Amino acid sequence: MTALALRPLALSLAALACSSPAPGAAPAAGGTAAAAAAGASPGGAPAGAPAACAGATGPFCWVNPLPQGDPLVSLWAAQPGDAWAPGPPGVLLHWDGAALTPVPVPTAAPLRAVWGRAADDVWAAGDAVLHYDGARWALAPGAPAGSWNAVHGDGRGEVWLVGAGGAAARFDGARWAAVATPTADELAAVAVVSPSEVYVAAARGGAVLRWDGAGFSVSARLAARTLRALFAPGPGELWAAGEPLDVNAAAGARGTALAHLQGGSWSDAAVPGLETASWFALHGAGGALWAAGATSGGAGRVARLDGAGWQIEELPALPLRAVQAVGGGALAAGDGGELFARTASGWSAVHRGAPGYLQAAAFSPQGDGWFAAVAPGAPPAAPEAQLLRVARGAVEAVPAGVADVIYGVWATASDDVWAGSLSNGFLHYDGRRFTAGAGGYRGLVDGVWASGAADVWGVAGDAALHFDGSTVTRQALPGGGARRIFGFSPRDLWAVGATGAAYRYDGARWSSWAIPGLALAVWGRAADDVWLVGEGGLALHWDGHGFTPVATGTTATLWAVSGTATGEVWAVGAGGTALRFDGSGFQPVATGTRNTLAAVAVSPGGRVYVAGEFGAILMK
């Protein structure tokens, strides 16, 4: 097995590349809402942060990881120092052997696949089809509209697309034409051997179809839950990969995740030691086959089949979605924007992702931002918990001092930061380090809010927790489910997380207010200006007397809400959703990520930070 050491997380915001040079060119946060509501003077952005997102494909810029953290689901390389991968909307990512650079493309449509015949003949496909001639990307003339999942071709000019609804299209070197398939199921992969030998895989059901130049026939129905990849080493031979029907801890995998067609017959294959893994990508060269995927526990793995059999290449990676053999080695890419390169000396990290799921954010009045991470460490262990801090022009990981899960965070000052944990209660940062178990309490704290070191609040299901500087007391809520808390003072707090109810504290007791739906987050500017967001695009406004539903225009789950002292309200959620309320209504704002966003915070200087899946942090 080949091991790979992790790099420390310390990324300069000054190096944030919002502009995107062409290949070959030089590489180029509800924060402290109490302070905002009180009209605190702007503290500005952290030193070294870019003044604006000039050159970005949208209003938001990536802060962590850099250059971006969306999953890389496809990869094609002409040589080890010339590789392309679909990136966030509006860009393709180019690896030149030294830097991974976002390159703008003439569409904001999502792209999911890339393949090339040569460095000056590269295709990208998704909700648009693009072609690269070695100088620039352009929309492919005559390419059919569709939701394409895969693109592949041969060495003679043949190019195929497959996608949603059983759609397929063929380019013969001169023109595009739709090709009828015998299924309406989503097609996930295509492998072109020649104009008379093309294989297509259905995403679900295990069907592999074969094109013989005149029509399709069923080559196999594999016992796979999903099929994700095909690779044809030559005429009459094919590998198929995907996910097994199911994985049982006692019985192992049922069905197949890897199958081989040779000599007219199919056989199941398995990688010894990874029998329950799922495989998302295949490629081969020089007599070796490479497979990339993930264990049943979610750790990225690469396996290589050569004359000596299967070899497991272990990387400390998130699930890997793409692989290509190139130049005697290989490239592998996957979740969190991770990209790895293998040479004769082993694997190295071209771009490390951030495994953490960031689900809470807050800014101190001094302008340093804190982001709480669920499972922030690298697989496979449960390492010391960390929070991410944006301060002094850098993103840095701050150890929490315990091996735990961090759920909530609040900052009343740079040296007074509070976090909630799964089993160590309140964690306190004093400017030097975190200390767990404030007040002697060692248990669950989910959301956190504080007005000072002697007035710290958290929630834990059916209870609110209060730390007065010495002890933690438990206050029963009228119902269960509380996961987030927000307040204006020790006598005016809100807690949410239960279906059909929001809880309010008046300094003496908690009361329940009926609401239409499930609220997952709460934030307010004043006692008569409180916002709740939640499941199904729910948004509610409290005016001091009651709740009023506010249309959001989305059904996406909204996980977090925050705002500014000047009237803006921001809500974020599934699929990279961000909504801005300007006083009259919510409008969608492009974030430049498809990752789920679970936290939003506004800095004292008015910058909006959003965060979520794969350690993603973006700012506007």
pLDDT in tens, 79-88: 999 999 999 8
For the CA atoms of 513, 516, 518, 522, the dihedral, rounded to the nearest 10 degrees, stands at -60
In a domain, 560, yes or no: yes
**Nearest CA to 145 among 112, 169, 121?**
169
Instruction: Quickly state the pLDDT bin for 248 (edges 50, 70, 90).
Output: low
Side chain identity, residue 226: T
**Nearest CA to 90 among 122, 121, 64, 68?**
68
Is pLDDT at 414 greater than 80 in this prediction?
Answer: yes
In a domain, 196, yes or no: no
Instruction: Quickly state the pLDDT bin for 352 (edges 50, 70, 90).
Output: confident
Q: Are strands 91-95 and 82-86 parallel, antiparallel or unpaired?
A: antiparallel
- pLDDT value at position 374? 74
Q: pLDDT tens digits, residue range 456-477?
A: 999 999 999 999 999 999 999 9
- pLDDT value at position 566? 86
Q: Where are the beta strands (DSSP E) in 235-328?
A: 237-244, 246-248, 252-254, 258-262, 265-268, 278-285, 288-294, 300-306, 309-314, 320-326
Determine the average pLDDT of the residues in 412-424.
97
Burial class (CB in 10 A: 0-12, 13-18, 19+), 455: middle
CB 407 within 8 A of CB 359: yes
Determine the average pLDDT of the residues in 265-271.
94
Work out the mean pLDDT of the chain and round it to a whole number: 88
In a domain, 552, yes or no: yes
DSSP assignment of 79-121: ETTEEEEE-STTEEEEE-SS-EEEEE-S--S-EEEEEEEETTE
In a domain, 441, yes or no: yes
Q: Which helix (H) or strand (E) holds 159?
A: strand 159-163
- pLDDT value at position 381? 47
Q: What is the DSSP letter of 465?
A: E
- pLDDT value at position 384? 83
Determine the average pLDDT of the residues in 161-188.
97
- pLDDT value at position 39? 26
Measured CA to CA in angstroms, residue 554 lies from 307, 340, 565 at distances of 53, 36, 25
In a domain, 92, yes or no: no
Peptide bond into 604 cis (omega under 30): no
Side chain identity, residue 259: A
CB 565 within 8 A of CB 523: no
In a domain, 119, yes or no: no
Instruction: Quickly state the pLDDT bin for 52 (edges 50, 70, 90).
Output: very low
Mapped onto helix, strand or coil, the DSSP state of residue 379 is: coil
Of residues 250 and 208, more confidently modeled: 208
Of residues 256 and 193, more confidently modeled: 193
- pLDDT value at position 375? 59
- pLDDT value at position 337? 92
In a domain, 349, yes or no: no
What pTM, to 2 d.p., does this model score?
0.85
CB atoms within 10 A of CB 594: 17
- Spatial separation of the C-alpha atoms in residues 337 and 91, rounded to whole Å: 13
- pLDDT value at position 49? 40
- Spatial separation of the C-alpha atoms in residues 495 and 204, rounded to whole Å: 42
Q: What tokens were used for 341?
A: 């390169």
**Nearest CA to 359 among 531, 608, 559, 580?**
559
Counting the structural domains of the chain, the total is 1
For the CA atoms of 116, 77, 127, 87, the dihedral, rounded to the nearest 10 degrees, stands at -160
Provide the CATH number for the domain around residue 488: 2.130.10.10
Side chain identity, residue 71: P
Is pLDDT at 123 greater than 50 in this prediction?
Answer: yes
Q: pLDDT tens digits, residue range 523-560?
A: 999 999 999 999 999 999 999 999 999 999 999 999 99
Instruction: Quickly state the pLDDT bin for 113 (edges 50, 70, 90).
Output: very high
Q: Where are the beta strands (DSSP E) in 436-546?
A: 448-452, 455-459, 463-467, 472-476, 484-489, 492-505, 510-526, 529-534, 539-542
Containing structural domain, residue 399? 357-619
- Spatial separation of the C-alpha atoms in residues 473 and 482, rounded to whole Å: 16
- Spatial separation of the C-alpha atoms in residues 564 and 544, rounded to whole Å: 19
**Beta-bridge partner residues of 479:** none
CB 165 within 8 A of CB 186: yes
Is pLDDT at 7 greater than 60 in this prediction?
Answer: no
Determine the average pLDDT of the residues in 195-220.
96
- pLDDT value at position 53? 52
Measured CA to CA in angstroms, residue 486 lies from 48, 209, 475, 604 at distances of 31, 55, 16, 18
Of residues 254 and 145, more confidently modeled: 145
Instruction: Quickly state the pLDDT bin for 89 (edges 50, 70, 90).
Output: confident
Q: What tokens were used for 124?
A: 């990208």
In a domain, 512, yes or no: yes
Side chain identity, residue 562: S
Is pLDDT at 28 greater than 50 in this prediction?
Answer: no
Q: Which of 37-46, 220-229, 308-317, 406-415 has the lowest mean pLDDT?
A: 37-46
> Token match 């939701």: residue?
147
Is pLDDT at 174 greater than 70 in this prediction?
Answer: yes
Contacts of 524 (CB under 8 A, 6+ apart): 33, 37, 486, 488, 494, 530, 531, 542
Determine the average pLDDT of the residues in 18-47.
31
- pLDDT value at position 355? 60
- pLDDT value at position 247? 63
Determine the average pLDDT of the residues in 16-40.
31
CB 407 within 8 A of CB 599: no
CB 32 within 8 A of CB 558: no
**Nearest CA to 181 among 219, 216, 146, 228?**
216
- pLDDT value at position 56? 56
Measured CA to CA in angstroms, residue 215 lies from 141, 161, 163, 181, 588 at distances of 25, 16, 17, 8, 44
Determine the average pLDDT of the residues in 445-465.
97
